[in-house]
Amino acid sequence: MTSTSPAPTPPTDVSAESGRVSTADAAPHQPSQVALDRARFRKKQSARSVLIALVSTVVVAVIVWIAIVNTPGWALVQQSFFDPKTAWEALPSVLLGLWTNIQVLFFASIGVAIVATLLATVRSLRSPVWFPLRFLTTAYTDLFRGLPVLIVLYLVGFGIPALGVFPRVPAQVWGTIALVLCYSAYVAEVLRAGMEAVHPSQRYAARSLGLTHGQTLRLVVFPQGIRKVTPALMNDFVSMQKDVGLISVLGAVDAVRAAQINVAETYNFTAYVVAGLLFVLLSWPMIRLTDWYTARAQRREQTGGAV
Amino acid sequence: MSDTDSGAPVLSMRGVYKAFGENTVLRGVDLDVHRHQVVVLIGASGSGKSTLLKTVNLLEQIDDGQIFLRGQDISDPRVDVDATRARIGVVFQQFNLFPHLTVLDNVTLANRRVHGMPKDEAERIAVELLGRIGLADKLRSYPDRLSGGQQQRVAIVRAIASSPELLLLDEITSALDPQLVGEVLDLVAGLKSTGSTMVMATHEMSFARRAADLVVFLKNGVLVEQGPPEQVFDDPEHPETREFLARVHAVG
């Protein structure tokens, strides 16, 4: 036991300090010895946790490194996957390709935002009049959530141009459309989940003010729903950020395709690693932002509290 | 262990400070709660009643001072927080029953999972306690099937099922319809007669007068006045207590 029993003193008489009740804000509180000791202990404790985490990370990293380096084929793997010279030479063309990916990502995000919002809105319509439309959107989200992105890319990227009714456009345009088709289905479901998570009392309150169903959705339900699902939406965005690399199968010269070309020229796989690292770098800010936002939202919901 | 030390108060707070950023909520609170004592905290909203209860349950970390549970300094960072909380029962304003569990599972959860009690014994205790408050037919119901008063009574039973050394009640009737307040307060009065040690924040002045052994008036995080109910309510020493009570009586 680290403490001593407090003496059973009679209740402290604070009436003598009556003047302090209202003016206490003025005088800053001087922490006592006990509080200082506790603060010191907590600081030491957290310093120890950080140290343990650091040491264990370094130990694991070293063990993994030694294990890999001592494999029989390491020299060959290092040469064909991690060759600095090849990496440096591949970088300009892969970077140029990545710019294509970023453009596709930009337009696909806008497309997904619009289509997904429409889909989610239609699915939340209650009136029987809308049944056919509701049924269609349900079928759509079911279909495109089930279809592999790659197959949609092939169907859209090779199938639609083959119809011969559309003017020739670059492959990345079809790639963008295919991504919008797939990701809208996912994002629409996330948005719908968010809208349904808004408590019904919010709808009652909005309708009781005389807002129409549409106004209620737009002004009350949607803003709250989107806040609830922001982490999930950001997660979908990060996922799409790397799936834009799949448009290379249509022949669009994006980062993956540029790397592939380099690999064919040099018989060295390093360019793929370069492209991979660039994709990680591209998605990293968004991943960190997602984590930060999620942590902040959690802090706000659990106002105070040490649990 | 100091648990056997019956001389020490069950709860003892010494110079407790708590601030949320710039906003100081408790300014050096000293309070003793002895065994079988019912202490009622009164004061306006924002006076620090709820925060005081949360610091005792270690849901809020205090900035200065010490809190002793049966003589053990529970504000010490070396203390096992979960073990300490297991010794204290808490009832919340919004009931906070687990909606995915039946009434029976809500009540037996802590005994089974924290106190390692066999399931049949935990259920025997739960059935007995729930039967005593007339909810024996609700064992398999989910909380959303119960009225607010029934939910709060289940929440109280959940808190006392593990026979805690101290019971904290945080404005437990504030979220209830007036006609449901009575059944909850009757249950609390019943607990008092069985000797539970309780600290209770409430706006129910008539109940405070009836059930309290010690009434504590808080204002701006300062413990302004404390004493037996007849003294605090009928002959308050402090002008601020008088002012608060006058305002409460003007409304009620």
Q: What is the pLDDT of residues A246-298, one digit of tens each?
A: 999 998 889 999 999 999 999 999 999 999 999 999 888 888 888 888 888 77
* Span B176-219, pLDDT tens digits: 888 888 889 999 999 999 999 999 999 889 889 988 999 999 99
Instruction: Please give the Cα distance from B148 to B180 (Å, whole number).
Output: 7
For residue A144, pLDDT over 80 is answered with: yes
The predicted pLDDT at position A228 comes to 85
Query: Rounded to an integer, what distance in angstroms lies between the CA atom of residue B98 and that of residue B84?
Result: 21
Please name which of B80, B31, B34 lies closest in space to residue B222, comparing C-alpha atoms. B31
Answer whether B191 touches A (CB < 8 Å).
Answer: no
> What is the distance in angstroms between the Cα of B36 and the nearest Cα belonging to chain A?
16
β-strands B64-69, B11-20 pairing:
antiparallel
pLDDT level of residue A126 (50, 70, 90 thresholds): confident
Query: Looking at residues A203-231, what average pLDDT do you find?
Result: 89
Nearest CA of chain A to the CA of B239: how many Å?
A: 9
- Bridging pattern class, strands B88-91 and B64-69: unpaired
| Predicted local confidence at residue B18, as pLDDT | 93
Contacts of A193 by beta carbon, 8 Å cutoff, 6+ apart: A229, A232
| Phi, psi (deg, nearest 5) at residue B215 | -110, 135
Contact between chains at B9 and A25 (C-beta distance less than 8 A): no
Listed in sequence order, the residues at least 6 apart from B3 whose beta carbon sits closer than 8 Å to its beta carbon are B70, B72
What's the rounded Cα separation, in Å, for the pair B164 and B111?
Answer: 11
> Would you state the pLDDT for residue A166?
87
H/E element, A182: helix A171-197
Query: Is it the case that residue A154 has pLDDT exceeding 80?
Result: yes
Q: What is B1-31 written as a DSSP string?
A: -GGG-TTS-SEEEEEEEEEETTEEEEEEEEE
User: 3-class SS at B217?
Assistant: strand
Distance CA A26, CA B82 (A): 37
Arithmetic mean of pLDDT, A187-203: 92
Percentage helix, strand, coil for chain B under 3-state DSSP, each rounded to 5: 40, 25, 35
3-class state of residue B63 by DSSP: coil
pLDDT value of position B251: 67
pLDDT over 50 at A20, yes or no: no
Measured distance CA(B46)–CA(B29) in Å, rounded:
15
Q: Where are the alpha helices (DSSP H) in chain B?
A: 49-56, 81-86, 103-113, 119-132, 148-160, 178-193, 205-211, 229, 239-251
Residue B163 lies in domain: 2-251
Per-residue confidence at A5, pLDDT binned at 50, 70, 90? very low
Average pLDDT over residues A117-144: 90
Hunting for tokens 């002793």 — which residue is that?
Answer: B68
Question: Is A3–B9 a contact, with Cβ atoms under 8 angstroms apart?
Answer: no
Q: Is A21 within 8 Å of B240 when comparing Cβ atoms?
A: yes
| Interstrand relation of B64-69 and B72-73 (parallel, antiparallel or unpaired) | antiparallel
pLDDT tens per residue, range B123-165: 999 999 999 888 999 999 999 999 999 999 999 999 999 999 9
- On whether any CB of chain A is under 8 Å from the CB of B237, the answer is yes
Q: What's the number of domains chain B is made of?
A: 1
Task: Note the pLDDT tens digit of each residue in A166-175.
Answer: 888 889 999 9
- The closest CB to that of B64, out of A20, A29, A306, belongs to A29
**Chain A residues touching chain B at CB-CB below 8 Å:** 1-3, 5-6, 8-9, 11-12, 14-15, 17-18, 20-22, 24-25, 29, 31-32, 34-35, 38, 41-42, 45, 304-307
**Does the beta-carbon distance from B32 to A29 stay under 8 Å?**
no
Distance from CA of A300 to the nearest CA of B (A): 14
In whole numbers, what is the pLDDT of chain B averaged over residues? 91
Stretch A160-186: mean pLDDT, rounded?
92
Give the closest-approach CA distance of B134 to chain A in angstroms: 31
Q: Out of 3.90.1150.10, 3.40.50.300, 3.40.640.10, 1.10.3720.10, which CATH number does the structure's domain A83-295 have?
A: 1.10.3720.10
- Residue A123: predicted pLDDT: 87
**Mean pLDDT (whole number) for B51-57:** 94
Phi, psi of B87 (to 5 degrees): -85, -10
Taking alpha carbons only, the member of A179, A172, A177, A108 closest to residue A149 is A179
Band (B8; pLDDT cuts 50, 70, 90): confident
Nearest-by-CA chain A residue for B77: A38
Res A283: pLDDT: 87
CA nearest neighbour of B14 among A6, A37, A17 = A6
pLDDT digits (tens, 9 = 90+) for A58-103: 999 999 999 999 999 999 999 999 999 999 999 999 999 999 999 9
Query: pLDDT by residue (tens digit) across B89-110?
Result: 999 999 999 999 999 999 999 9
- Number of CB atoms found within 10 A of residue B128's CB: 12
Work out the percent of chain B whose per-residue pLDDT is above 70: 97
Domain boundaries, chain A: 33-69, 83-295
Which residue in A14, A35, A305 is closest to B224 by CB distance? A14
Confidence of residue A2 (pLDDT cuts 50, 70, 90): very low
Q: How confident is the model at residue B248 (pLDDT cuts 50, 70, 90)?
A: confident
A16: distance to nearest CA of chain B, Å? 10
Contact yes or no for A246/A104 (Cβ under 8 A): no
* B5 phi/psi in degrees, rounded to 5: -75, 90
Nearest residue on chain B to A304, alpha-carbon basis? B60
Closest by CA to A182, choosing from A225, A130, A217, A140, is A140
Which chain A residue has its CA at the smallest distance from B226's CA? A11
**What percentage of chain B exceeds 90 in pLDDT?**
79
In whole angstroms, what is the distance from residue A239 CA to residue A247 CA? 14
- For A31-53, the pLDDT digits (tens) are 888 899 999 999 999 999 999 99
pLDDT of residue B22: 86
A84-123 helix and A255-266 helix, angle to the nearest 10 degrees: 150
Amino acid at B205: M
Q: In the structure encoding, which two tokens stand for residue B180, read together?
A: 């449901």
Tokens representing residue A86 in the block = 């090849």
Note the pLDDT of residue A14: 40
- Give mean pLDDT, residues A107-130: 91
* Interface list for B 99-138 with A (CB within 8 A): none
- Which CATH number do you get for residue B150? 3.40.50.300
